[in-house]
């Protein structure tokens, strides 16, 4: 098989729900990092892009009708460059990268853009059509996050636990205390603050220009992090499932807006287009488990991937574990035998600090991991995340 190399990657800042990026359409947001890749790599003949894969979990609003294709056209890619949108919920952006890498390894593609987008702020309310004449049973569903148009059979067989409820389930089943969750969340905020102060994110973010009626604003920093967070403040927060629950707004990821794109190439295409490979995609694996404990999904996915690649967990110099909830992050780390506060796990903070725009997060993890490998001189990085409705995904890259 051919090697699949990551040659460049960039993202927008991640905005808060209803925050600075709330005025940017999802398809426009998706186009921004693609256009940035094109501007950063003038030696590339963009007519030679074989395909574009973009992750997106919602697709009910401005991200409808194949937002990957919309983003490609809006970014200025030639109209004969095809594009596809992938939906594996939270794992969509990572799946897009793995799918692109598989196409290159198989020799079916040589130059591919992969990434993802989510505007959770602009996710619409939707209403199903009437199931009978003169029906008065209209119901409006919120598409921002979680279940809608529930199948009664699904509810009966598997339950329809909300995302916070699945985190509470994991906390109970794997004995993850509230104190440990809050400590994990605080480390995420502190590590982000240290990385931000050191300029770690400067080169990975394309600024977003917002044109208002009276002034122009440039957004170049993640909006969600709380640098002033403290254990005292976190411990005062009420549970989001129940007042005495352990999962709070402080030890969970948030609803966010953002996009991320990576440029992948075979060795031959990289040389032909003047690109410098930065990392090799070694492999990707997915797994399934009970939807009610979906947050534990990374554990079986990682084990499956390690068996597939013949690598060991102790060979991973960087681990980027998506922090959907502190409860599930800790349960996964402990199951894999990794200390709660391991310095090579999310060394620059994770989704509890940065935020979690669903379709973009997996791509962000891979980009962050590649950058960290080059920053530290490490060889392998493992990226992994849980996925709603009971799945996990994991991907390994090697620095070159």
* Positions marked catalytic: 90, 356, 386
Q: Mapped to the 3 state alphabet, what secondary structure does the chain carry?
A: CCCCEEEEEEECCCEECCCHHHHCCHHHHHHHHHHHHHHHCCCCCHHHCCEEEEECCCCCCCCCCCHHHHHHHHHCCCCCCCCEEECECECHHHHHHHHHHHHHHCCCCCEEEEEEEEECCCCCEEECCCCCCCCCCCCEEECCCCCCCCCHHHHHHHCCCCHHHHHHHHHHHCCCCHHHHHHHHHHHHHHHHHHHHCCCCHHHECCEEEECCCCEEEECCCCCCCCCCCHHHHHCCCCCCCCCCCCCCCCECCCEEEEEEEEEECHHHHHHCCCCCCEEEEEEEEEECCHHHHHHCHHHHHHHHHHHHCCCHHHEEEEEECCCEHHHHHHHHHHHCCCCCCCCECCCCCHHHHCCCHHHHHHHHHHHHHHHHHHHCCCEEEEEEEECCCEEEEEEEEEC
């Amino acid at each position: 098989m051919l090697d699949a190399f990551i040659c460049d990657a960039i993202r927008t800042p991640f905005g808060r729900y209803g925050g600075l990026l709330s005025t940017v359409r999802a398809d426009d947001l998706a186009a921004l990092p693609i256009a940035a890749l094109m501007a950063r790599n003038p030696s590339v003949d963009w007519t030679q892009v074989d395909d574009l894969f973009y992750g997106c979990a919602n697709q009910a609003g401005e991200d409808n009708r194949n937002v990957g294709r919309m983003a490609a056209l809006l970014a200025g890619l030639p109209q004969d460059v095809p594009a596809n949108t992938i939906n594996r919920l939270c794992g969509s952006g990572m799946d897009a990268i793995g799918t692109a890498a598989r196409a290159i390894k198989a020799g079916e593609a040589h130059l591919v853009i992969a990434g993802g987008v989510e505007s959770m702020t602009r996710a619409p309310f939707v209403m199903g059509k009437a199931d009978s004449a003169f029906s008065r049973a209209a119901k409006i569903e919120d598409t921002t996050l979680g279940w809608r148009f529930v199948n009664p059979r699904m509810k009966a067989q598997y339950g329809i636990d909300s995302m916070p409820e699945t985190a509470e389930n994991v906390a109970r089943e794997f004995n993850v205390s509230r104190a440990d969750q809050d400590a994990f969340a605080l480390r995420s905020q502190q590590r982000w603050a240290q990385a931000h102060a050191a300029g770690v994110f400067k080169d990975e973010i394309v600024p977003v220009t917002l044109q208002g009626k009276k002034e122009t604003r440039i957004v170049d920093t993640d909006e969600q992090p709380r640098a002033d967070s403290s254990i005292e403040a976190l411990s005062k927060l009420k549970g989001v499932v129940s007042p005495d629950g352990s999962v709070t707004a402080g030890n969970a990821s948030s609803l966010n807006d953002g996009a991320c794109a990576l440029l992948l190439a075979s060795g031959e295409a990289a040389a032909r287009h003047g690109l410098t490979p930065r990392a090799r995609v070694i492999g990707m694996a997915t797994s399934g488990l009970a939807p009610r404990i979906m947050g534990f999904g990374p554990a079986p996915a990682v084990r499956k991937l390690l068996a597939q690649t013949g690598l060991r967990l102790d060979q991973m110099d960087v681990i980027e574990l998506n922090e959907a909830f502190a409860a599930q992050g800790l349960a996964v780390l402990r199951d894999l035998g990794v200390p709660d506060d391991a310095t090579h796990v999310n060394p620059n903070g994770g989704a509890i600090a940065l935020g979690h725009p669903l379709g973009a997060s997996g791509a962000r993890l891979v980009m962050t991991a590649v950058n960290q490998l080059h920053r530290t001189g490490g060889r392998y990085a493992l990226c992994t995340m849980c996925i709603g409705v009971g799945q996990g995904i994991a991907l390994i890259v090697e620095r070159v």
